[in-house]
Amino acid sequence: MIGLVYKHRTYGALPLAYDEIIHLPTVKVEEEIIYDDISYRIAPNAEGNVSKFILEELNILELICSKFKDYSSRKIVDYMHKEKAYRETEPFHLISYELSKELNELN
């Protein structure tokens, strides 16, 4: 939906320039520990303005929020590791958009 390029990393797929994203002045980042490493959670820094989203995007966001609302970081990592796009990509390689067409259903 957001058009970023993702790379196979230890704890899941990460946007290629995630380290630049977390240092943007408009992005609020919270550190947390996953397994034995420090990770970063991007947190809202203000109320979201949904008026710029089309209905299909809002439906996708609602589906994602509903599916993962009670998941811990560890459970999300485990979920990601089961995705075909992650399993069929070598560590540290880019994840093909073609494989994203075969993501697990969120229902």
**Radius of gyration, CA atoms only, the chain:** 15
Residue 84's contacts (CB-CB under 8 Å, 6 or more residues apart) are: 99, 102, 103, 104
More confident call, 86 vs 23: 86
Query: 35 near 74, Cβ under 8 Å?
Result: yes
Give residue 93's pLDDT band: very low, low, confident or very high (50, 70, 90).
very high
Residue 89's contacts (CB-CB under 8 Å, 6 or more residues apart) are: 8, 95, 96, 99
Considering only CA atoms, which of 11, 18, 19, 7 is closest in space to residue 97? 7
What six digits make up the tokens of 49? 């303005």
Domain positions in the chain are 6-100
Average pLDDT over residues 91-96: 94
Q: What is the spatial distance between Cα 20 and Cα 72, in angstroms, rounded to a whole number?
A: 25
Q: What is the spatial distance between Cα 73 and Cα 57, in angstroms, rounded to a whole number?
A: 23
Average pLDDT for the chain: 86
61 has pLDDT over 60: yes
